[in-house]
Amino acid sequence: MYGIFTRPWGYEVSVMRNGTRHYRQFGRASYGGAEQALLHAQDWRDAIVRQHPPIARRARAEQPRANNSTGAPGVYSRVAPDGRVRAWLAKTYIAEDQILQTYFSVDGADRAAHAAALAERARQLAQMTGLAHVHPAEEAIRRETDAAPRARTPRLSRAEIVRRNNSSGTSGVQFKSPRPDHPGYWMAITFIAGRGTVSKAFSVKTHGEQAAKRLAIAERETQLALKRQLDGAELAS
């Protein structure tokens, strides 16, 4: 899949554009599963492709190269064995099977030959059109419209991510038993900035195993709603 790589923890997006690497990770845990993580990874990749089109071929051809010693991309000197410049060459790759090149001999007037090569290079560049070649998938991404888009769930906050050591299947909900012969209880626990740790327990003896767990899960949702409300108010202030 173009620009998206499968990793043990989810997906990694990496797209190079004009020398800049656009990179982001999408973990399964952060999006509630592999399907949603992949959908968000595709959305982000597609946005990068649309927001950052390839550079124009002419603009790329005008960029200085590391091995260019003349100071003018596409203009090269031809040097005689004694070190004298004997000719200037203007050369441009117009297409895969089309190369334009013209030599200008130096007959005692090096500056004139150099100026002629620069002018010829400009004429060659004027014939270059289109964008730099990129992966074929990019054109499809720019054209496509999702006729039946699948629903995206928002990225989970750190407090909502189900950790590997979680046995309840719901983040922030855990079973506690103070001693082996105790029936135990299900607890909902959430850290809320400015309020500290908020928790509430539901006894298995009082409510039963499944009911106590359901109550703890519902309480956790209430705590998270309060956390989002307070976090949003803090950001707005």
pLDDT tens digit sequence for 116-145: 999 999 999 999 888 777 788 888 888 876
> How much is the pLDDT for 122?
93
> How much is the pLDDT for 236?
63
Q: Where are the domains of the chain?
A: 4-52+134-143, 57-126, 158-236
> How much is the pLDDT for 235?
60
pLDDT at residue 237 above 60?
no
pLDDT tens digit sequence for 92-101: 988 778 899 9
pLDDT at residue 55 above 80?
yes
> How much is the pLDDT for 177?
92
pLDDT at residue 64 above 70?
yes
Angle, nearest 10°, between helix axes 34-51 and 136-143?
90
